[in-house]
């Protein structure tokens, strides 16, 4: 499975960005697709996840109410809509695919290349 992440950029605090994660060949209905982020000097952390088949969504407390994960089955793409961005959201964002819901990066076996999100104050 090849994952292609895109949509990062530079935005002012309070602004919005939408990240995309496209899968060549599509996602299995049993898959879980997640977004993680990693800031300089910090560990990679869970942001949000969606069960591809059911569409159930899960969020880290730090982004709940600001970020929305969604999917477009026809395009085999998962989106992360990020609103009310804060400087502490600055990180490289990665999408990943796993066989089950997990909050640890090690449980995901396919990763996209990462896209930089920078939020200025």
| CA angle at 60 for the pair 113 and 68, rounded to the nearest 5° | 70
| Residue 23: closest CA among 43, 2, 52, 5 | 2
Q: Span 84-90, mean pLDDT?
A: 98
Q: What is the pLDDT of residue 84?
A: 98
Mean pLDDT of 34-63: 97
How many CA atoms does the CB half-sphere of 19 hold within 13 Å? Answer: 34
Measured CA to CA in angstroms, residue 57 lies from 9, 12, 121 at distances of 24, 27, 29
Band of residue 26 on the pLDDT scale cut at 50, 70, 90: confident
């Amino acid at each position: 499975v090849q994952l292609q992440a895109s949509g990062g950029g530079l935005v002012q605090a309070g602004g919005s960005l939408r990240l995309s994660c496209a899968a060549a060949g599509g996602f299995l209905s049993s898959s879980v697709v997640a977004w993680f982020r990693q800031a300089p000097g910090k560990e990679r952390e869970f942001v949000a996840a969606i069960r591809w088949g059911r569409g159930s969504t899960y969020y880290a407390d730090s982004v709940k109410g600001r970020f929305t994960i969604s999917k477009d089955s026809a395009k085999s793409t998962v989106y992360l809509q990020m609103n009310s961005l804060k400087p502490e959201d600055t990180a490289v964002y990665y999408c990943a695919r796993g066989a089950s819901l997990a909050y640890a990066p090690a449980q995901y076996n396919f990763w996209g290349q990462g896209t930089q999100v920078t939020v200025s104050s």
